[in-house]
Structure 1
Amino acid sequence: MKKLLLITAFLSTILFAQDHTFESKDDRVNIIELYTSQGCSSCPPADKWLSNLKEHPKLFKDFIPMAFHITYWDFIGWKDVFATKSNDNRQRYYSSKVWKKNSVYTPQFIINAKEYRTWFTNQSFPNFKNQYGGKLNINLNNNKLQVSYFNKNIKNQKIYLNVGILGFDYEINIKRGENKYKTLEHDFVVLNHIQKFAEIKNNKLEIDTTLFNLEKNNKKKALVIWLSDYNSEILQATGGYI
């Protein structure tokens, strides 16, 4: 996604006053991406499955789920309130550039940049393979974000730094479209996502940056950071509730 650096517009208007520190283990933390839409009648079961992971004991330790809402079903009659064109582009990039395919669909699960169709068979939780990922540490204080990473297997390499804010506990009353009259519940919603160029030098990455401000509300949020290479391979991730 070399051309997709700024993923979503910034929201406003508060700072994160608390200090938050998160650290990965040495094994790779797995990334679960769900591409979904409030205008898709097949999506609510996938959204519910993702929501059920909120209380999983290995959440943020072994895996991080994220729901990217897309816009291309908005024409059916209901505009998804969380959808962005950049999420559409991200999904299409996977399909065309990573997997060499020419179609996208919802709901679609992607695990560590690979299509995960097994969910449609039994909706079971995936079996993750242990893989070294290096040590990723992040600290957030007053919107100042410090990221440090060490990987014994990567001496020098240009990569992507991904920063995401996830929202939880949303209930949306759908008034039109395929899910008309339903109240849909959403968690792990990607509210903001930016992607920046970064570079590992001498096995290390050190970045200081300013995090975007967020709209003030009473919803639970989480900060997630993940590193990926130019082939979309997930290197490491960490995060947690803020």
Structure 2
Amino acid sequence: MKIVLLIFILFSNILFAKETVIKSGDKKVTLIELYTSQGCSSCPPADKWLSQLKNKDGLFKTFIPLAFHVTYWDFIGWKDIFANSLNDNRQRNYSSKVWKKNSVYTPQFIVDTKEYRQWFSGQPFPKLQNNYAGNLEAKLSENKNLEVKYNNKNIKNKKVLVNIAILGFDYNIDIKRGENKSRVLEHDFVVLKHIQKYAAIKNHNLDFKNKLYQLKKEPNKKYALVVWISDENYNQLQAVGGYIN
């Protein structure tokens, strides 16, 4: 019953208290994607590592963590309450379309569309790019209207994808069954909602507007808005993120 209630809360409407404005600057902001599952016994250390990034210098300024929970381990005894089959598809598209492979796994880290296997050998943090990537700004109004502006002096005209994600923090989930039975798993940077829309850069500029559905805010939880621009091959051009006011 508690699981059903949590799912209902997550996908009901979130209330935004006041306008949120976030800006990237012109240096590259890197996405650190984790593909994970509450049904995977190997995933808790990766989830914990990602959670620790809340306190790392450069959060939302030079890097943005994202935890995409997948569904394909749900059959082994525990259904991940954050899992979404669209996350499965995103991971499989990386494998098949970007890397020309035919397999996926958890936990898997992806940094700037590349597999980051060094995490498994103890490398503490990936080396981040610091190149020019254009200026990205996202403005979320009290009425859930999102306005995205992007300027890149090196790209005159280009068809792109605008990605919008709402992240949730400070979850402690009591796992009742499966490989992680009797463990309490901590989760941060959880992708609660991911929206992807086609758009276009014209004369070096992109202007995009979208109405966001609200999510109901849980007490003692933080939320963040993340927006990133990518091309049709998943190559990330620029990203911006920050906590929602």
TM range (shorter): over 0.9
Name the amino acid aligned to 1:39.
Answer: G
Q: Which residue of 2 aligns with 1:65?
A: 65
The within-5 A match list for 1:155-234 is 155-218=156-219, 219-234=221-236
Equivalent residues of 2:30, 2:112 under 8 A apart = yes
Higher mean alpha-carbon deviation, 14-23 vs 196-205, is at: 14-23
Name the amino acid aligned to 2:200.
Answer: E
Shift in Å at residue 15 of structure 1? Answer: 3.6
Equivalent residues of 2:32, 2:109 under 8 A apart = yes
Distance in 2, matches of 1:79 and 1:160, equals 30
Distance in 1, matches of 2:214 and 2:41, equals 33
Distance in 1, matches of 2:42 and 2:11, equals 30
The within-5 A match list for 1:3-82 is 11-82=11-82
The percentage of aligned residue pairs carrying the same residue is 64
User: When the two structures are aligned, how many residues end up with a matched partner?
Assistant: 233
Shift in Å at residue 106 of structure 1? Answer: 0.2
Distance in 2, matches of 1:116 and 1:57, equals 20
Name the amino acid aligned to 1:97.
Answer: K
Equivalent residues of 1:17, 1:141 under 8 A apart = no
Equivalent residues of 2:13, 2:213 under 8 A apart = no
- CA 1:227–1:193 in structure 2 vs 1: closer, same or farther (change >3 Å)? same
Q: Which SS does the other structure have where 2:28 is aligned?
A: coil
Distance in 1, matches of 2:210 and 2:65, equals 24
Distance in 1, matches of 2:46 and 2:120, equals 9
Q: Which SS does the other structure have where 2:194 is aligned?
A: strand
Q: Which residue of 2 aligns with 1:134?
A: 134
Q: Which SS does the other structure have where 1:138 is aligned?
A: strand
Distance in 2, matches of 1:231 and 1:159, equals 9
Give the TM-score normalised by structure 2: 0.93
Shift in Å at residue 14 of structure 1? Answer: 4.3
Gaps of 5+ in 1: 1-9
Distance in 2, matches of 1:230 and 1:122, equals 32
Name the amino acid aligned to 2:23.
Answer: E
Shift in Å at residue 13 of structure 1? Answer: 2.3
Q: Which residue of 1 aligns with 2:4?
A: none
Give the TM-score normalised by structure 1: 0.94
Q: Which SS does the other structure have where 1:118 is aligned?
A: helix
Q: Which SS does the other structure have where 1:215 is aligned?
A: coil
Distance in 2, matches of 1:57 and 1:156, equals 34
Equivalent residues of 1:11, 1:212 under 8 A apart = no
Q: Which residue of 2 aligns with 1:4?
A: none
